[in-house]
Structure 1
Amino acid sequence: MGIKITGIGSFIPDNVESNEDFYKHEFLNSDGTVIHYPNEVIVEKFKDITGIVERRYADNDLNSSDLGYLAAEKAIADANIDPETLDYIIVAHNFGDVKYNTIQSDILPCLASRIKYRLKIKNPKCVAYDILFGCPGWIEGVIQAQAFIKAGMAKRCLVIGTETLSRVVDKHDRDSMIYSDGAGASIIEETTDDSGILAHETASFTYDEAYYLFFGNSNNPNLDPDTKYIKMHGRKIYEFALKNVAEAMKTCLDNSGIGINEVKKILIHQANEKMDEAIIKRFYKLYKMEAPENIMPMSIHKLGNSSVATVPTLLDLIVKNDLENHQINKGDIIILASVGAGMHINAITYRY
């Protein structure tokens, strides 16, 4: 018996925000002082570090729950199931529904209930709930779905990662260029073959690391101090992720009993190109190996960092043959991994 993803879907907004669109922004240092470089230089340096050329923003009339619903519809169709047969709907996000041009998060009712309502599911035993787990939220939702199925509490689950980070960024902060909007969804259920989840690993580092990502004031001191935006200690996150994500991936792979040479693809949270490349390099170094070419698919260049949506969206793009030079075949071993606010880390070793 295995537990696997039987359907996958994503929603990628149509609105493209290019790097050139940031030329008109007024970027400031965290203390409110002026940055003595032209925006063209700031944006070019940003691209060199993150790899991001453009990102996607949701239409003004769409919220996170809407994106999640649209991705869920695709996953349900891909799995060819009746949504009434779902036992759980697990929705990972960070900020709930933040309507365009507002500052208040709306999570009443929870996004999972909203999506279940949009799907017109009548079955009250289909339990709908949200998880707040930073960027690793979708992977953690998949791990929870597996636990429900293994425990005999469910046969089929819908796991969604959805976010509209463009609604919570400080436009005076250079880090705002990283974030984007999107959603990915998956159907998780039991299978009769040996495919699916082989092992998983999760850890929460909070003693020193809990507030590496946090809600803080705008870099512009003239703005309302009671309005908060997503902020991060980028260097600390980089150093933390480089060490701990690689080690979590190794533990996960070793626990699966699969050899490193059998891994065909590693789908890592699309946070920062240079950081992800460094994590993969360190991961293989733990096995005293060089990372193989083309082992790590990337979507960040065109889609940016959509938090909980990056891994399921990346998987969907590959499975649907929409990512050039990357494919996953039946029987392939892949690793899914993520790191994010909390600070949380997780990984899954998976046979496709």
Structure 2
Amino acid sequence: MTLYSKIIGTGSCLPPRRITNEELARQLAEKGIETSDEWIVSRSGISARHYADPGVQSSDLGVEAARNALQMAGMDVSQIDLIIVATSTPDHFGGFPSTACVVQNKLGIANGCAAFDVQAVCSGFIYAMAIADSFIKTGMHRRALIIGTEVFSRILDFQDRTTCVLFGDGAGAVVMAASEEPGMLATKLHADGSHADILCVPGNVNAGVVAGSGFLHMDGQAVFKLAVSVLEKVAHETLDAAGMQSAQLDWLIPHQANIRIMQGTAKKLGLPREKMVVTVDQHGNTSAASIPLALDQAVRDGRVKPGHHVLMEGVGGGFTWGAALVRM
């Protein structure tokens, strides 16, 4: 029997603290930084984002998203035999223990299942799904919990209006299980380290303190130009691998970074805007959490239905990019 992997549950979690552009502009004005709702919306399409309260970690958001996904899947935590967490804002400095291990403990999973983090920034969730897909197809694992979770508000420089207005916190999760029916139809992953400096946190740890900057740095124009180019290419590459055309897609769920990048990608694929799931206006850029957050919203509001073909794609620091084509 040929084994496939299939998404059988989705879940998400947004911190309750919602920050509108107007509220953020007022907060920045107190620091002498000028911005406005019009300025933010015109450049990104973002109207609001969510921030985690002090003391709330990536694992906390990830656990809530995971519980929601497990509930939809009708699965007990003890049945999970693989946990992969995609995050750029891990609970622990240096990234260990992994946030996946922390999530495992908080969920009460005591079966000794494998648990590890993936670091591919905004492409992390796509990378994590591709890894889980390979493990499931080989029979190594049967039921995987894949989580994208971020508290990006912790690494934002609120003196830099070009970046601090763009990002938010949140988590999304899926349960992937072995199936006799194809679910994950194709995945493609790429990276080009020569562009590492256009989107990064340039600091490092030296003698127990941060040397350099611990804040996110982004060359917006360079990221925009590269993102539009690679997202179109990887979409076609993934469709070709599955023997499909873009016209056969029911939904496009791109990384929710910038509405102009998203609309440009949809246009190049010949897809109407109505076939693209958009949450960037209310969530901002939640990095590795953005795709599963958007997927869960579209599943729960009834847009994405069983049997639908969904193309998910992301691009992020590294520079990394990738896509996954799934049949729900």
**TM-score of the superposition, structure 2-length normalised?**
0.92
1:184 equivalenced with 2:186 (yes/no)? no
After superposition, give the CA deviation of every residue in 1:235-258 in whole Å (9 maximum; x if it has no partner). 001100111110000010011012
Q: Cα RMSD between the aligned structures?
A: 2.0
**Where does 1:292-303 land on structure 2 (aligned, <5 Å)?**
292-303=272-283
1:202 and 1:53 map into 2 onto residues whose CA distance is 31
Deviation at 1:108, TM superposition (A): 2.9
Q: Percent identity?
A: 31
In the TM superposition, what whole-angstrom CA distance separates every residue of 1:84-111 from its partner, at most 9, and x where no partner exists?
222211011002127xxxxxx3633110
- The corresponding residue for 2:26 is 23
Match of 1:146 among 130, 133, 141: 133
The corresponding residue for 1:305 is 285
* 1:26, distance to aligned residue in structure 2 (A): 5.2
Contact 1:27-1:172 within 8 A present in 2 as well:
no
Match 1:242 to one of 203, 217, 228: 228
Q: Distance in 1 between matches of 2:309 and 2:167?
A: 29
1:200 to 168, 171, 187: 187
SS at match of 1:297: coil
Following superposition, the deviation at residue 14 of structure 1 comes to 1.0
Whether the 8 Å contact between 2:202 and 2:212 is mirrored in structure 1 is no
Distance across 2 between alignment mates of 1:246 and 1:24: 37
Query: Offset at 1:197?
Result: 0.7
Question: For residues 225 and 26 of structure 1, do their structure 2 counterparts lie closer, same or farther at Cα, with a shift above 3 Å needed?
Answer: farther
CA 227–258 in structure 1, closer or farther in 2 if over 3 Å, else same? closer
Looking at structure 2, the residues matched to 81 and 254 of structure 1 have their Cα atoms a distance apart, in angstroms, of 34
Task: Specify the SS of the correspondent of 2:176.
Answer: strand
Provide the residue aligned with 2:39 in structure 1.
45
TM-score of the superposition, structure 1-length normalised? 0.86
Match of 1:127 among 102, 114, 127: 114
Q: Tell me what 2:307 maps to.
A: 331
Q: How does 1:340-351 map to 2 (within 5 A)?
A: 340-351=316-327
Do the aligned partners of 2:263 and 2:273 also contact (CA within 8 Å) in 1? no
Q: Distance in 2 between matches of 1:172 and 1:216?
A: 17
**CA deviation map 1:284-333 (0-9, x unaligned):** 3xxxxxx3240111001111111111100111001111xxxx71222211
Structure 1 residue 27 displacement after superposition: 9.7
Structure 1 distance, partners of 2:86, 2:258, is: 20
Is 1:118 the counterpart of 2:120? The answer is: no
Does 2:290 correspond to 1:314? no
Determine the C-alpha separation between the residues in 2 that align with 1:6 and 1:306: 23
Aligned to 1:11: 13
Larger-gyration structure (1/2): 1
- Aligned pair count reads 318
Q: Is the 8 A contact 2:63 2:103 kept in 1?
A: yes
Q: Which residue of 1 aligns with 2:75?
A: 81
